[in-house]
Amino acid sequence: MDIRDVYLLERSEQFNLGPRQEATVDLSLKRAPKKPCTVLKGCVAGKSGPIEGATVKVSSRSNNPVMHTVTDKRGDFVFENILPPGEYKVIATAEGYKVSRVYRLFLESRRPASIFIWLDVSDIKNHATVYGIVYNEANTGLADANVMIANYDRPDICEAVTHTNAEGQFLVYGLKPGKCWLSASKEGYFLPQKVSLDLSANEIACMNLFVYPDGSSTDGIVSGIIDSYGQNVSNAVAALYKVEERGDILLATKETNESGFYLFPNVKPGKYLVKSKMETDDMIR
């Protein structure tokens, strides 16, 4: 016959007892709760047989966590006199396997329940994962940056692309083991140097990237159309001047195309004006 608690262990407060003194110490014991007298047991297996070390999780009907355990070398698990009678959901998983489907069951006192849980091999087994943060010059995570992983021998071949979240974090999984290039980009920023990685099977690699403001990204464009009495003028010269206190400084000239259109790229922020004229063919020759 096994020994069971009838009342739970209780304790008194500490007290001092002097010479020839008496102390009265009363205790109120609480009755031990009855065991639920339920048993849930089962086995977790996959294509290669029983799975040792699989995690089996029991949740309530409303998906609140209740209990979990790990399978033994035979893939077996048991919950004995732990779960109160009621309705439960059971799932399981193991390294290299997907999460199982949900098994629903109703436990009753003195009526053992048994289930067999099947696990499918993960689609990304033996693949690698890369995660990290893209930081800006202020060491703050940069949101909506492009993160690209490219083939090591063929950098022009993109193997994966993702975007950072609001905190600058990114995550890429399902990568084939081997060497690759990791880079990040965003309009207005540049990455000084892409990073090479040599990923192994099932590796989880953390790699943070740092990007900096691209000075050329602040450049603007000045463009327009030159016409005369409503007719577009081709081969006219548009002249771009920077306005300064000491006078207008000519920076560049550009001929208009057949539609009279001109374009000045890479113009730094500042105050400018455009002048235009056209000389005779003999003068331009």
Q: Residue 232: exposed, middle, or buried by beta-carbon count in 10 A (0-12, 13-18, 19+)?
A: middle
The closest alpha carbon to 197, from 187, 208, 186, 207, belongs to 207
Residue 12 in domain: no
The closest alpha carbon to 178, from 160, 155, 151, belongs to 151
Residue 85 in domain: yes
The alpha carbon of residue 93 and the mean position of all alpha carbons in its chain are separated, in whole angstroms, by: 21
Q: Is the pLDDT of residue 235 over 80?
A: yes
Q: Is the pLDDT of residue 219 over 90?
A: no
Q: Which helix (H) or strand (E) holds 282?
A: helix 281-284
Structure confidence by residue, pLDDT tens digits, 178-214 = 999 999 999 889 999 999 999 999 999 999 999 998 8
Residue 81 in domain: yes
Structure-derived torsion over alpha carbons of residues 276, 281, 282, 285, reported in degrees to the nearest 10 = 90
Provide the mean pLDDT of the chain. 94
3-state secondary structure of 217: helix
pLDDT for 2 equals: 72
Q: Is the pLDDT of residue 140 over 60?
A: yes
pLDDT for 181 equals: 98
Model confidence at 218, pLDDT cuts 50, 70, 90, reads confident
pLDDT for 74 equals: 97
Average pLDDT of the residues in 43-64: 97
Residue 75 in domain: yes
Last residue of one domain, picked from the residues 90, 118, 146: 118
Task: Tell whether 113 and 50 lie within a shared domain.
Answer: yes
Average pLDDT of the residues in 151-170: 96
Here the tokens at position 170 are 């990114």
Identify whether the C-beta of residue 107 lies closer than 8 Å to the C-beta of residue 88: yes
Model confidence at 33, pLDDT cuts 50, 70, 90, reads confident
Model confidence at 161, pLDDT cuts 50, 70, 90, reads very high
pTM, 2 dp: 0.64
Domain of 140: which CATH number?
2.60.40.1120
For 202, other C-beta atoms within 10 Å of its C-beta total 14
| pLDDT higher at 214 or 28 | 28
Q: Which domain holds residue 250?
A: 219-280
pLDDT for 284 equals: 47
Q: What is the DSSP letter of 229?
A: T
Structure confidence by residue, pLDDT tens digits, 66-88 = 999 999 999 999 999 999 999 99
For 15, other C-beta atoms within 10 Å of its C-beta total 9
Model confidence at 282, pLDDT cuts 50, 70, 90, reads low
Average pLDDT of the residues in 12-25: 94
Q: Locate tokens 């980009």: which residue?
A: 185
Task: Tell whether 133 and 114 lie within a shared domain.
Answer: no
Residue 34 in domain: no
Q: How many domains does the chain have?
A: 3
